[in-house]
Amino acid sequence: MRAAVIKEARLVVRERPDPVPTGSELLVAVAAAGLNGADLLQRAGHYPPPPGVPADIPGLECAGTVVATGPDAERAIGDRVMGIVGGGAQAELCLVEDSVAMAVPGSVSLEEAGGFPETFTTAHDALFTQCGLAAGERVLVTGAAGGVGVAAVQLAKLKGSQVVASVRRAELRPAVAALGAEVIDPAEEEAAGPYDVVLELVGAADFPAHLAALATGGRICFIGLAGSGPHTGLDARQLMAKRAVVRGSTLRARSVAEKAAATRALAAEAGPALGEGRLKVLVAATYPLADCQAAYDRFAEGGKLGKILLLMGQER
């Protein structure tokens, strides 16, 4: 198979041995694989994959067709699936655990599905499992034009929550507003409170303002640090007075059982909405595997709406 391989902090295409499924694994012929912030960190040498995952083939999500199965897998050859993996998704073939794989609705293209698993699972887990966001509550989504942000806006709106979306680039705000959010500039985040939940996708520097804007009993969840970095100040008196909860979350290092639980929860609540078109993967750009370095360059530029996808099988 061909794969996007990290070499000296750049991406090149190389031939690698075809993976062989064991146990309950599925061998998926990848149609599309999404790029995520973790891929940039891995490329830079800052986010090594978990044990058993290819060390130099990035990619945390993919969609495609099952071409082989391990002896304990329940899905069949020919099934259209999408799923999260610990790495290795940006290749023509990828191993996906059966329990983590989700069926791709017939109305959804494999290209669109390639950008669904990581972003929507991350957003769903943070909003509902970690923060318990309920219908009628008010949520602030920072960095709302990115892949996870767009997913979070849609999932929260689907739940019946009031969504405030913070978007830095003015030209991207109308598209995010069209998803049903009240869109604001990041400078307005504190003044636009109070919020029951804050989904922090940008960084920790704005934490004092977000805590100040939090409603009593509110929750903040950190799932991204792409903007202002990991360090922040904390006024513990304010934290105590508001009876606030601050959490952090990642998916990659979780066990297969934990990932399976997260994807089952997502599939149960969001799967029908995806098939009916009430949830969409917004695609900013697509690139063939041969142009994987260009795809990473575009992702690193920022200022995109939705997902960057690598498409397999377009050329050889």
pLDDT of residue 46: 83
pLDDT the model gives residue 313 = 73
Return averaged pLDDT per consecutive 10 residues of the chain, 316 residues in all. 95 97 98 94 87 92 98 98 96 98 96 96 96 97 93 97 96 96 95 95 80 93 72 75 86 89 94 95 96 96 92 64
The pTM for the full model equals: 0.93
Class of domain 2-116+280-311 as given by CATH = alpha beta
The encoded tokens of residue 137 equal 């509550």
Domain range list for the chain: 2-116+280-311, 119-248
pLDDT of residue 250: 83
Per-residue three-class SS string for 85-141: CCCCCCECEEEEECCCCEECCCCCCHHHHCCCHHHHHHHHHHHHHHCCCCCCCEEEE
- pLDDT on residue 230: 66
pLDDT of residue 315: 38
Question: Which tokens sit at 45?
Answer: 């040498």
Tokens 């709406």 found at: 305
Listed residue (143, 183, 145) closest to 163, CA to CA: 183
Q: What is the pLDDT of residue 316?
A: 30
- For residues 4 and 62, what is the distance between their CA atoms, to the nearest angstrom? 13
CATH class label, 119-248: alpha beta
Hey, do 2-116+280-311 and 119-248 end up sharing a CATH topology, with the first three levels equal?
Answer: yes
Residues pairing with 245 in the sheet: 219
Q: Which residues pair with 203 in a beta bridge?
A: 229
